[in-house]
Structure 1
Amino acid sequence: MNMTATIAGPPEKATATGQAATVEFRGLRREFGSTVALDGLDLAVRPGELLALLGPSGCGKTTALRVLAGFEQHDAGAVLVDGQDVTRVPAHRRDAGMVFQSYSLFPHLNAVDNVAFGLRMRKVSTGKRRERAAELLDLVGLGDQGGRFPHQLSGGQQQRVALARALALRPRVLLLDEPLSALDAKVRLTLREEIRRLQQELGITTLFVTHDQEEALSMADRVAVMRAGKLEQCAPPAELYGRPATAFVAEFVGTMSRIPGRLHGTTVEVLGRRLPVDGQAPATPEVDVLVRPEAVHVAADEHGDARVLAAAFLGAATRLTVRLADGTEVKADLPTHEAAALGVGTTVRVSLPDRPVLVAER
């Protein structure tokens, strides 16, 4: 069952200065026996924003969401909503709605009654709760499906019903726990656009847990990348991709190649030239330079020391896999019309643009 708020008012539009809440995790720690799920997590969510929690399995992102929802108790730290510690507030009184990966609809109730269930628990009259449920189903594009039962709906439609149910009591915080992962690719794309549209229209503070970086980057105002229970970086998608704070973020978000280099103070020697180092450099002189595929330049050169191994058509761009003289494999994205002249086996020269690069320990 989804966790909903105790507000009995109609589903009105939220605003960043009224309905939408601030959420803050302060030094949050949660242990399961010898496993540390959250290790001093510090993170603040702004009113009305959609913040994605992104990271590999076991990084603590779902645990953080469940602690905020009240389904898990943390061992140390605090969870604040609008500046108030909600540690001792039970789940059903936390002004939040939650949508799960598994839909969690009641099979014996039709769509209208599933959406209206929380309102029934709050003793809202039958007429009012059915009217409100119908309005919410219309909001999520299912206005004509209210009489259908879960088994009569597609996976995407069931998830829309679950979303409407989470919104039924006008929560100030919406929690989404990998709600799209069980859907096929086309439905997932459509529904993530719909969720984003609704979230912006309602102005509701939203935490979205996902392991899918494309989902996070395309939907969120900011993305918080987690690793081993800690926050690695929290930033808008473009900044996270273009200016990753750590080597882990750089390699987890998007595609990244490692090219051997050697440090010389604040510069690094790589592919026969010196480039400035972006951020703090490791203590060891032997490092790897981290580069995105779109930053790698590849040109045919019969005297070059690299060779094209493979080409993957991506539409407007083609991704080449190039092997350097030392055996290092590098990904490079080129316009498809340019890559057409660089077939597998072509001898090429690889270079990087004259701009700062991120380096990591080898």
Structure 2
Amino acid sequence: MTVLDNTATTPEPATEAATVEFRRLRREFGPTVALDGLDLTVRPGELLALLGPSGCGKTTALRMLAGFEHPDSGEVLVDGDDVTRVPAHRRDAGMVFQSYSLFPHLDALDNVAFGLRMRKVRTAQRRSRAAELLDLVGLADKGARFPHQLSGGQQQRVALARALALRPRVLLLDEPLSALDAKVRLTLREEIRRLQQELGITTLFVTHDQEEALSMADRVAVMRAGRLEQCAAPAELYGRPATAFVAGFVGTTSRIPGRLDGASVEVLGRRLPVDGRIPAGAEVDVLVRPESVRVRAEDDGHARVVATSFLGAAVRITVRLADGAEVKADLPAHEAAELTAGAAVDVSLPDRPVLVTERTS
């Protein structure tokens, strides 16, 4: 794979980074509510990822910003200007699709220059601009190649260069890496992030891949059933999920039965403070990340190791508690050596606030 040349000239954005606002967006497709009053702001120059399961509304929101969909109610604003009913070709947004969408009869240079040609930019100027952008995305020597002569990763680079050719105020990425293999996807997401930061362009990125969202975005907006569950920086989203859905969707989470006692919860033989909302019922589940769970071998322990999984520097241990609940713990490899399947263990949690939710059946 070609690695982007950091010495390449970075083109200057045509305008200041834009602010994007979704205000009370609602969109229905028959009986299905795709967006249910979405309120969200994308800050100037940031990369914000829309993350969520299929059907949560993230792509609908992106298409509304692009101008391909219109809400039943609500507004889309760019730098305070209402663009809700502005046609897509007047939105000043560049979009990169999952499927590349390159013209098969045009070489890479002409694919990148296509939008400039539609705007009647002179031949010499548009070819110069296209060559500059191909250089920026690491394809300076591939301008004469046609899409079928390029790898998937190279085709997506061409699509990215084409989206940037018109110096858009907003860059929209619709799951652009999902069709690529794992190694190419990892490399290209790092390159897209570097390029976005260098250009300082406001970017909205749709993905269902949590690792992709957490590694690339300044903030991640988690959506569910057309609503925004939480929007926060990756570290906050992972470390302090606002809802049980976010805790379960972002990263790995175990549920441990507990019992509420005022603003604290009794769990695994100790009392811990509750972080965030306190459910109405006394019987709850405590939500914990695997790196927060402590497991040690204990001859008279009331839990048993049921499985181990090697993760490289860590080993993931799955433990079954006396009540049948299963808990996952990530331990350094050297600490997990004696924790084989069937071993009796003691399980505990650190003395810090925990997130709780209603008990599942």
Which whole-Å CA distance do the structure 2 matches of 1:314 and 1:356 have between them?
27
SS in 1 for 2:143: coil
Deviations 1:98-140 (A, max 9, x none): 0000000000000000000000000011111111100000000
SS in 1 for 2:295: strand
1:220 maps to which of 217, 220, 241: 217
SS in 2 for 1:176: strand
Q: Which amino acid aligns with 1:236?
A: A
Aligned to 1:158: 155
| 1:95, distance to aligned residue in structure 2 (A) | 1.0
1:206 maps to which of 196, 203, 210: 203
Confirm or deny: 8 A CA contact 1:11 1:167 kept in the other structure: no
Confirm or deny: 8 A CA contact 2:18 2:78 kept in the other structure: yes
State whether structure 2 residue 166 is matched by structure 1 residue 169.
Answer: yes
Aligned to 2:4: none
| 1:87, distance to aligned residue in structure 2 (A) | 1.4
Aligned to 1:32: 29
Which whole-Å CA distance do the structure 2 matches of 1:166 and 1:14 have between them?
13
Aligned to 1:80: 77
Which whole-Å CA distance do the structure 2 matches of 1:139 and 1:19 have between them?
20
Alignment of 1:264-343 (within 5 A): 264-343=261-340
2:139 maps to which of 136, 139, 142: 142
SS in 1 for 2:353: coil
Which whole-Å CA distance do the structure 2 matches of 1:104 and 1:43 have between them?
28
Which whole-Å CA distance do the structure 2 matches of 1:43 and 1:11 have between them?
30
Aligned to 1:14: 13
Aligned to 2:129: 132
Name stretches of at least 5 consecutive residues in structure 2 with no aligned partner.
1-8
State whether structure 2 residue 246 is matched by structure 1 residue 249.
Answer: yes
Q: TM-score, normalised by structure 1?
A: 0.96
Which whole-Å CA distance do the structure 1 matches of 2:271 and 2:108 have between them?
62
SS in 2 for 1:337: coil
1:113 maps to which of 102, 110, 114: 110
Aligned to 1:90: 87
Which whole-Å CA distance do the structure 1 matches of 2:295 and 2:11 have between them?
54
Which whole-Å CA distance do the structure 2 matches of 1:140 and 1:197 have between them?
11
2:43 maps to which of 46, 63, 86: 46
Aligned to 1:7: none
Name stretches of at least 5 consecutive residues in structure 1 with no aligned partner.
1-9
Which whole-Å CA distance do the structure 1 matches of 2:276 and 2:219 have between them?
21
Residues matched between the structures, number: 351
Which whole-Å CA distance do the structure 2 matches of 1:11 and 1:215 have between them?
24
SS in 2 for 1:135: helix
Q: Which amino acid aligns with 2:45?
A: G
Confirm or deny: 8 A CA contact 2:193 2:216 kept in the other structure: yes
Confirm or deny: 8 A CA contact 1:57 1:211 kept in the other structure: yes
Aligned to 2:349: 352
Confirm or deny: 8 A CA contact 2:10 2:136 kept in the other structure: no
Which whole-Å CA distance do the structure 2 matches of 1:88 and 1:345 have between them?
63
Aligned to 1:178: 175
SS in 1 for 2:334: helix
Confirm or deny: 8 A CA contact 2:20 2:77 kept in the other structure: yes
| 1:12, distance to aligned residue in structure 2 (A) | 3.4
Q: Which amino acid aligns with 1:316?
A: A
Q: Which amino acid aligns with 1:13?
A: E
1:262 maps to which of 259, 267, 290: 259
State whether structure 2 residue 187 is matched by structure 1 residue 190.
Answer: yes
Aligned to 2:5: none
| 1:11, distance to aligned residue in structure 2 (A) | 7.9
1:56 maps to which of 37, 49, 53: 53
Confirm or deny: 8 A CA contact 2:264 2:273 kept in the other structure: yes
Q: TM-score, normalised by structure 2?
A: 0.96
Which whole-Å CA distance do the structure 1 matches of 2:278 and 2:306 have between them?
31
| 1:345, distance to aligned residue in structure 2 (A) | 1.1
Q: Which amino acid aligns with 1:73?
A: H
Which whole-Å CA distance do the structure 2 matches of 1:58 and 1:213 have between them?
16
Deviations 1:328-358 (A, max 9, x none): 1100000011111211111000000000000
